[in-house]
């Protein structure tokens, strides 16, 4: 099969498209024919090892000291079950599935094996939403898992006020829609070019961090969700993190690893199929253009997700 290998840490050009052996599933694994993958900020960090100093040692121990321990990287996938081991109960050949591979990586390939049980080593897998393309499903998997993981920390419910900083990214576009569905009053923060997008997702207000430095002194939020990570900041972001109501919560997607949870993927499938959430895709690249996709995402200005078609 064709796959991208990452023989060392470095710029996008270190990725190499090559022929490798197709994996064979164990009794407790499914073989997934990968139809689409994604280029996420997590993939950029893994490939380039651009890790904050405080996380350098634990991250290198997990993913590899001098190069990625898993030659084939890639965190997100959507595809079809090609075959299933004899112990598999949740899936059968032909099922359309989506998920994340976590420390197993391996999504930048035409085939990969995954277990049906959730774990940090093996990721998580679920039936993908009907009527989505495989490319759209990658944005739903990654953005949905992040959004639900951190919205749950705020116990969002009807009548609350929620602010999403980075409302135009993969996690942010999903978080805005989920919070609105839960009945919250939602404020989204983004750049000038994405104000209309954020409003179209249901945000009650959209703020431009490039033109606004502060909030009304009386403005308070029950949850402030930093959907871009702590390395990106602005004066408005600092003001947002201080604008908590009594008992309010401020969380960042950098507060912990992305947790594999097939139940959250199932919840996202329900939200998408009911029309409460729609995935946002910025661009879709051909598999042969993976390096260009990494260059684009590395610039830090994407809106929604960036997908890569593996097998049309």
Write phi, then psi, for 189 (nearest 5 degrees): -115, 130
Taking only the tens place, the pLDDT of each residue in 98-150 is: 999 998 999 999 999 999 999 988 899 999 999 999 999 999 999 999 999 99
Tens-digit pLDDT profile for residues 152-177 = 999 999 999 999 999 999 999 999 99
Q: Write down the pTM of the prediction.
A: 0.94
CA-based nearest residue to 286, from 139, 135, 171, 136: 135
Angle, helices 134-151 vs 170-181, to 10°: value is 60
> Does CATH place domain 2-143+258-309 in 1.20.1250.20?
no
Coil, helix or strand at residue 186: strand
Q: CA-CA distance, 94 to 91, in Å (whole number)?
A: 9
Which CATH architecture is the domain 145-252 placed in?
3-Layer(aba) Sandwich (3.40)
Helix (H, G, I), strand (E, B) or coil at 290: helix
Report whether 114 contacts 90 (CB < 8 A): no
Q: What CA–CA distance (Å, rounded) separates 166 from 225?
A: 9
Q: What is the DSSP letter of 254?
A: T
Residue-wise pLDDT for 265-297, tens only, equals 999 999 999 999 999 999 999 999 999 999 999
Confidence of residue 57 (pLDDT cuts 50, 70, 90): low
Angle, helices 290-298 vs 41-48, to 10°: value is 100
How far is the C-alpha of 26 from the C-alpha of 49, rounded, in Å? Answer: 31
Domain with CATH 3.40.50.720 in the chain: 145-252
Give the per-residue pLDDT at 67: 73
Of 186, 185, 198, 187, which is closest to residue 280 (Cα–Cα)?
Answer: 198
Token readout for 104 is 């197993």
Residues of each domain in the chain carrying CATH 3.90.180.10: 2-143+258-309
């Amino acid at each position: 099969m064709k796959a991208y290998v990452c023989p060392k840490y470095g710029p996008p050009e270190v990725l190499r498209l090559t022929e490798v052996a197709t994996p064979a599933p164990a009794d407790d694994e499914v073989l997934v024919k990968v139809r689409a993958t994604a280029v996420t900020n997590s993939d950029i960090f893994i490939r380039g090892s651009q890790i904050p100093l405080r996380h350098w040692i634990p991250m290198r121990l997990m993913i590899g000291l001098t190069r990625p321990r898993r030659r084939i990287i890639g965190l997100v996938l959507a595809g079809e079950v090609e075959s299933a081991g004899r112990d598999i109960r949740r899936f059968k050949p032909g099922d359309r599935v989506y998920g994340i591979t976590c420390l197993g990586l391996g999504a930048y390939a035409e085939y990969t094996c995954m277990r049906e049980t959730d774990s940090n080593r093996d990721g998580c897998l679920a039936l993908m939403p009907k009527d989505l393309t495989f490319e759209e499903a990658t944005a739903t998997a990654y953005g949905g898992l992040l959004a639900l993981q951190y919205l749950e920390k705020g116990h969002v419910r009807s009548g609350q006020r929620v602010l999403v900083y980075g409302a135009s990214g993969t996690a942010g576009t999903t978080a805005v829609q989920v919070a609105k569905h839960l009945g919250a009053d939602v404020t989204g923060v983004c750049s000038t070019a994405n104000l209309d997008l954020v409003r179209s997702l249901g945000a009650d207000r959209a703020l431009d961090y490039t033109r606004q430095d502060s909030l009304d002194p009386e403005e308070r939020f029950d949850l402030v969700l930093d959907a871009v990570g702590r390395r990106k900041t602005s004066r408005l972001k600092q003001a947002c993190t201080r604008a908590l109501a009594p008992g309010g919560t401020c969380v960042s997607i950098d507060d912990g690893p992305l947790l594999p949870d097939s139940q959250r993927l199932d919840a996202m499938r329900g939200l998408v199929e009911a029309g409460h959430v729609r995935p946002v895709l910025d661009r879709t690249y051909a598999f042969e253009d993976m390096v260009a996709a990494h260059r684009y995402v590395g610039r830090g200005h994407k809106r929604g997700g960036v997908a890569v078609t593996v097998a049309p």
